[in-house]
Amino acid sequence: MKVVEALALAISGIGANRLRSALTMLGILIGVAAVILLVAVGNGASVQVQSQIQSLGANIIYVYPATQRVGGVAQGFGGAQTLTQADVDALNDKSQAPDIVTAIPITNSFGNMVYQNQNWQASVTGTTQDFPSVRNYDIAAGSMFTGQDVNDDAKVVVIGQTVVDNLFGGDPNAAVGQLLKINRQTFRVDGVFAPKGTGAGSNQDNVAVVPINTAWAYLSGGRGKNISQINIEASDASTVTAAQNEATQVLLNRHNISDATQADFQTQSQQDIQNTAGQITGILTLLLGSIAAISLVVGGIGIMNIMLVTVTERTREIGIRKAIGARRSDILLQFLIESMFLSGFGGLFGIVVGAGVSTYLGTIASRISSSFPPPVVSIPSVLLAFGVSVGIGLFFGIYPANRAAILKPIEALRYE
């Protein structure tokens, strides 16, 4: 018997019990929709995290001071001050590190900012004029301070939108040119960064950026010319690894360390962070998907249950079919196709519902919570869910269909 005829038989069988068939499909529908929706939520979280990491700066490599070894004894992490301005200068030397576009020193401190009768606290970063290009900041108003400002210890500052909101009532243009106090020192606002939003756990708009020499001179609180990290911009994504290797080599040479495992600094590329975050969100997605998959299995058991009932109900029909020449394989095919039809269509409707709800949640995500990531439907999850639902029809359909197929014709005919 051809599949087309078996399909026609299956459809008429399903049509004979519409409500029951619909309820059976509903089980698979919910399972598939749940898988697609939850994977989409996990995926959305992943996409959001990745884009936030990306917004920290494209092609960026971070260099941190690492455990310093004194006579073979490891000192505490981050306690060391192993990075110097000379290191930065060496990294900016094209003959030593051709794939590095720019390296900037970063010194971080905390600033108490006062403007008129308003006060606010923000992270104060001392760096150079190349900070916006390396860290992906745009200037919304005014301008970035210049290299001259860095050399002159100029008391100028470029602030983020959150600072503007809290000290200047939100208007970037109103802030430019104003004088504010950071830790009792008077600074002139040269520019305002365009907002970037919350990235990787911290508010990237609650910043104040000053020339590094100024930070050392007025804000370091006597800690000297401390560099808490160096940020390196590679020419593009493909050269990040090369730039990372060059930076490592330059710094090992400068610090007279021959064994890379003994390095007193560590480098981390945007890619490293993304990989780590990707692993975490991947596990999250897998976990969500697995939970949803349980409901898919429950739906499959529902199909098996209904198919067993159907086979029992139609025992006599099976006997008639066998009497007029149906083979075992014909009967098997008829019931298998019926169960796969139920699960397949349940799966198709599940895709529609799952993708629909995901998309709807995406459009109202910002209204639910500012941190709720819009779900992103992943095509592989859709294909997988559909494939699995058809497979479930096959798996859970085989037993009932086989029971029908091996019925003895006389016993089936006698069945009342």
Q: Interface residues with other proteins (CB under 8 A)?
A: 1-2, 5, 12, 16, 316-317, 319-330, 408-410, 413
Q: Which is nearer to other proteins, 19 or 73 (CB)?
A: 19
Q: Any idea what the Cα angle at residue 77 is, between residues 71 and 83, rounded to 5°?
A: 80
Q: Is the Cβ of residue 223 or residue 328 nearer to other proteins in the bound state? A: 328
CB of 4 to other proteins, least distance (A): 9
Helix (H, G, I), strand (E, B) or coil at 299: helix
SS3 400: helix
In the complex, the smallest distance separating the C-beta of residue 385 from other proteins, rounded to whole angstroms, is 33
Task: Tell me whether residue 1 or residue 217 sits nearer to other proteins (CB atom).
Answer: 1
Q: Please, what is the minimum distance in Å from the beta carbon of residue 316 to other proteins?
A: 8
- Which residue lies nearer to other proteins by CB, 236 or 411? 411
CA distance 216 to 175: 24
Least distance between other proteins and beta carbon 40 (Å): 41
HSE, side-chain direction, 13 A CA sphere, residue 246: 25
Beta carbon nearer to other proteins, 272 or 317: 317
User: Residue 42 or 319: which CB sits closer to other proteins?
Assistant: 319
Provide the angle, in degrees to the nearest 10, between the axes of the packed helices 328-368 and 18-55.
40
Question: DSSP string covering 215-263, please?
Answer: IIIIISTT--S---EEEEEESSGGGHHHHHHHHHHHHHHHTT---GGG-
Provide the β-strand partners of residue 122: 111
Shortest Å, Cβ 314 to other proteins: 9
Minimal distance, residue 237 CB to other proteins, in Å:
58
Rounded to a whole number of angstroms, the minimum distance from the CB of residue 15 to other proteins is 8
What percent of the residues of the chain are helix, what percent strand, and what percent coil, each to the nearest 5?
55, 20, 25
Task: For other proteins, give the closer residue by CB, 152 or 330.
Answer: 330
Angstrom distances, CA of residue 245 to CA of 68, 111, 152, 251:
20, 35, 33, 10
Question: Exposure of 184 by Cβ count < 10 A (0-12 exposed, 13-18 middle, 19+ buried)?
Answer: exposed
b/e burial code for range 374-390 (CB count within 10 A of at least 16 → b): bbbbbeebbebbbebbb
- Partners of 74 in beta bridges: 69
